[in-house]
Chains A and B, each alone.
Chain A
Amino acid sequence: MLWQNIPILLVLLPLGLSSLTAVLKPKASRALMLGVNTVCLCLSAIMLCEVIINGEAFTVKMGEVGAPFGNELFVSHTEAFVAVGFDLIMLLSLTASGRKVKQDVAPNRTSLFYTVCSLMLAALNAITLTNDIFSGYVFLEISTIAAAALIFVSNARGTLMASMRYMIMNLLGSGMFLFGLAILYSLTGELLFPSMKDKLALVEAEGKYSGALFMGLTLITVGLSMKSALFPFHTWLPNAYSLSTPASSSILSSLVSKAYIFLYIKIISKSVGLDVFMQSGTANVLLAYSALAIVIGSIDAIQQHNVRRMISYSSVAQIGYIFLAISFGTDRAMGAAIFQIFAHSAAKAMLFPAVDRLVEVSGGNENFRDLRGSGYRAPLAGIAFTVGAFSIVGIPLLGGFSAKVYIASAASGIRQYVALLALAVSTVLNVIYFMRTFVTIYRKSDRQSNELSFRFLPGFSVAITAFILLNLCLGLGAGRVMKVISDGISLW
């Protein structure tokens, strides 16, 4: 069927046109990138509808010869949904902060910025759709370098150091992932997820190579958690997110690290198998570190004086939630993790441009005391911040609440009381740091005038409104979204 060619286009369009954006003038290159992104979004939405209507997953062989000899893409409800989500958030992030890109990025780098975004989009789609662990690694490399470029593309001071740290931690992570992949390959001789799963079940049953299997799984886990900033490896995150231009911060926090986590979810449930994953004991380590991440990330966020750093540290805690759900090792928990990925992405990708606008109307100072009353000076940004913060804290009707409910119900399903405790403690901590900011931005300041600013920023307003709606949709339609995700997972 014709629509089944969509997965190929989703990767090839942004990949092929990325090199064109590099030679175009900044404006044309921005238009091309946004156009490609919109086309990808429409295509992936069509794909999602078709998959839901047909109710079955399909594979796309890349070339005449199918897997295991060639490469293969696999699309179920989950992959289609994740692709729609990534494309949508990419488009909205770029629209919301497009004005800021002009200010922060030197004119002779602007085209290259959009090239990098385009390549990033291709890499995200490829990581989402691939059914082959090595293709996953190849596109992971692209997204790693693209993410580093997104950090140092702005002229702000400190970005070079931040991207240096990012690069060191992430290359170490990539290396470990590659080692782990090589070990699994040498045990099974397969790169395709389903074939690898069958062979690994044999290896596990035989028991002769269980040490090597454990090592491979551990290396993949450590590598990908380094790349997605799980607690002990999160040190690269605050500077990278808070110093780069808001568009980069949105993309980095809500797409790049999330794509790595989605790849990890796919690897453990499609290629390693949840049984093997639970038996190896990796899950317990992951549980401990993600519980620590939730608490320590929140405490770090409370200690910040700078609002963007506070939001960055809150990402550490939120990533902890996702890994917490993964460590339960059930299909239901995987669904909850994927839901949390999107609840957090939708909120975080909105918070960065909103906070940037609040800072902008407060004289460009990112400290809390200067933000007083900024919610009145930039009303839409204030509302966006409120919605985003409420979603992350877990106020009902918003995505974050439903995500926490799903994680908690997955935890109580397998009697994981430590996880429930971590969830409860961190909710209180989240309230402390977000309510403090909320109170600050809506507190009348005596030093500055509190007059409303009616400066209309078209891109920003449209994108932020869409983000707010997205958060509401994730909250109100949580049941439906969760059904799509779990339908897809049952087809894996």
Chain B
Amino acid sequence: MRSIIKKIKGFIDNGVDPLGDEMLSDLEYTKVTENEVEIAPKLRREPERIKNRKLANALYTVSAIALCFAMIVILTWNVNGLPFFGGADTLVDSEVGRFYIENGLKDTGATNIITPIILSYRGFDTLGESHVLFIAMCAVLILLRSAPVNPENHLQAYDAAMESDEPWEDDILKAFGRVLMVLIFVFGLYIILNGNTSPGGGFSGGAVLGAGFILYLNVFGHSAAVKFLNFKTMQSVTAAALVSYSIFKGYHFITGFNEIESIFGNGTPGTIFSGGMMLYLNIFVGAVVSMTMYSLFVMFRKGDF
């Protein structure tokens, strides 16, 4: 009894575990995986625990694989139980789809029905999706922009990386690059601007533009690319595009909800300036997508702009 009281007292005093269980906490486990050198003395001291850990790891791997297979079987079996896609007896009523096809052109003036679905009918979701891209970019920037721990070393390492990463002075590459670049940029702009009249739009066109920027960087080198697209430009373009996108969408939501006539007319279907604000929205989405692609590439290439 006395010893129990003593133990509880010690527990309150020092936070010592009364059960005396010395389980390796998650925190220590993290240290093992992060930095094995640090744990090394501990390894020598307790080989038995490591042995147990190995067994546990093996068991874990086997059971994880088994679980994955079980999930695959269950999900595949489940597909059997779903209603036949497009079948006549299914409960899925194509009311929504029919509405889009019948009224899409009349409501919005866009001949490509997908674009109004993305940008107008379900524009709220797409606004969210563009911000998913933006937050992915922010997360990568936070993660990879190395904290200036030791400015000198950091800069040296950065310069070294810059030099070794610059492409060779290759005339053939540059000559082809020049031709190809023009085609890619024109094609990207074409897809963005014709999003409301033909297949395409901000997401696909932005991806093409982003690929063009990445190609430019790889052909002409970082120093040339930074001249027209540095970190500041990239951030300002993204911010401007996203802010305008939100303002346009806000205008759209508020006029729509309050039944106010929008200043964006539907225009003549089939021309570039048709479909209300869709042209502008496509441009904003295109800017965001291309900047995100380019900045992700740059960040993974060097860790900084």
- List the interface of chain A (C-beta within 8 A of B): 4-5, 8-9, 12, 15-20, 22-23, 60-65, 68-71, 106-109, 112-113, 115-116, 119, 122, 126, 132, 134-135, 138-139, 141-142, 145-146, 148-149, 152-153, 155, 157-158, 160-162, 179, 183, 186-189, 199, 202-203, 206, 209, 211-212, 215, 235, 238-239, 242-243, 303-306, 309, 367-369, 436, 439-440, 443
User: In the assembled complex, which residues on chain A have CB atoms less than 8 Å from the CB atom of B78?
Assistant: 183, 211-212, 215
Do the beta carbons of B125 and A305 come within 8 Å of each other? no
A-B contact pairs, 6 of them (CB 8 A): A23-B235, A62-B256, A65-B107, A109-B145, A112-B142, A119-B138
- List the interface of chain B (C-beta within 8 A of A): 11-17, 19, 21, 23, 25-27, 30-31, 33-34, 74-75, 78, 81-83, 85, 91-96, 99-100, 107, 120-125, 127-129, 131-132, 134-136, 138-139, 141-143, 145, 147-148, 235-236, 238-239, 242-243, 245-247, 249-250, 252-258, 262
- Contact A12/B96 with A69-B121, A112-B142 known, Cβ cut-off 8 Å: no
Which residue of B11, B27, B85, B249 has the most chain A CB atoms within 10 A of its CB atom? B27
- Contact A188/B147 with A63-B120, A439-B12 known, Cβ cut-off 8 Å: no
CB B104 to nearest CB in A, in angstroms, measures: 10
The 5 closest A-B pairs by CB, nearest first: A16-B246, A368-B15, A189-B92, A19-B242, A138-B128
User: In the assembled complex, which residues on chain B have CB atoms less than 8 Å from the CB atom of A106?
Assistant: 147-148
User: In the assembled complex, which residues on chain A have CB atoms less than 8 Å from the CB atom of B132?
Assistant: 138, 141-142, 145
User: In the assembled complex, which residues on chain B have CB atoms less than 8 Å from the CB atom of A238?
Assistant: 26-27
Do the beta carbons of B13 and A108 come within 8 Å of each other? no
Task: Tally inter-chain residue pairs, CB-CB below 8 A.
Answer: 221
Give Cα A369–Cα B75 distance, bound, in whole angstroms.
51
Do the beta carbons of B124 and A203 come within 8 Å of each other? no
User: In the assembled complex, which residues on chain B have CB atoms less than 8 Å from the CB atom of A187?
Assistant: 82-83, 91-92
Do the beta carbons of A109 and B33 come within 8 Å of each other? no
Do the beta carbons of B12 and A119 come within 8 Å of each other? no
Do the beta carbons of B34 and A119 come within 8 Å of each other? no
User: A239 touches which one: B27, B120, B139 (CB < 8 A)?
Assistant: B27
User: In the assembled complex, which residues on chain A have CB atoms less than 8 Å from the CB atom of B254?
Assistant: 5, 8
Give Cα A212–Cα B84 distance, bound, in whole angstroms.
12
Do the beta carbons of A71 and B142 come within 8 Å of each other? no
Do the beta carbons of A162 and B30 come within 8 Å of each other? yes
Which residue of B14, B17, B129, B132 has the most chain A CB atoms within 10 A of its CB atom? B132
CB B95 to nearest CB in A, in angstroms, measures: 7
Do the beta carbons of B253 and A8 come within 8 Å of each other? yes
User: In the assembled complex, which residues on chain B have CB atoms less than 8 Å from the CB atom of A19?
Assistant: 134, 238-239, 242-243
User: In the assembled complex, which residues on chain B have CB atoms less than 8 Å from the CB atom of A16?
Assistant: 242-243, 245-247, 250
User: In the assembled complex, which residues on chain A have CB atoms less than 8 Å from the CB atom of B100?
Assistant: 69
Do the beta carbons of A149 and B138 come within 8 Å of each other? yes
User: B15 touches which one: A12, A23, A113, A367 (CB < 8 A)?
Assistant: A367
Closest-by-CB residue of B relative to A17 is: B243
Do the beta carbons of A63 and B123 come within 8 Å of each other? yes
User: In the assembled complex, which residues on chain B have CB atoms less than 8 Å from the CB atom of A303?
Assistant: 17, 19, 21, 23
User: In the assembled complex, which residues on chain B have CB atoms less than 8 Å from the CB atom of A304?
Assistant: 25
Give Cα A443–Cα B93 distance, bound, in whole angstroms.
68
Give Cα A106–Cα B124 distance, bound, in whole angstroms.
34
User: In the assembled complex, which residues on chain B have CB atoms less than 8 Å from the CB atom of A243?
Assistant: 27
Closest-by-CB residue of B relative to A72 is: B124
Which residue of B82, B148, B249 has the most chain A CB atoms within 10 A of its CB atom? B82
CB B34 to nearest CB in A, in angstroms, measures: 6
Do the beta carbons of A145 and B136 come within 8 Å of each other? yes
User: In the assembled complex, which residues on chain A have CB atoms less than 8 Å from the CB atom of B99?
Assistant: 69
Do the beta carbons of B33 and A212 come within 8 Å of each other? no
Give Cα A161–Cα B27 distance, bound, in whole angstroms.
10
Give Cα A212–Cα B69 distance, bound, in whole angstroms.
19
CB B86 to nearest CB in A, in angstroms, measures: 11
- Contact A122/B131 with A135-B125, A189-B96, A369-B13 known, Cβ cut-off 8 Å: yes
Give Cα A15–Cα B253 distance, bound, in whole angstroms.
14
Give Cα A242–Cα B243 distance, bound, in whole angstroms.
35
Which residue of A22, A68, A139 has the most chain B CB atoms within 10 A of its CB atom? A22
Do the beta carbons of B25 and A116 come within 8 Å of each other? no
Do the beta carbons of B30 and A209 come within 8 Å of each other? no
Closest-by-CB residue of B relative to A16 is: B246
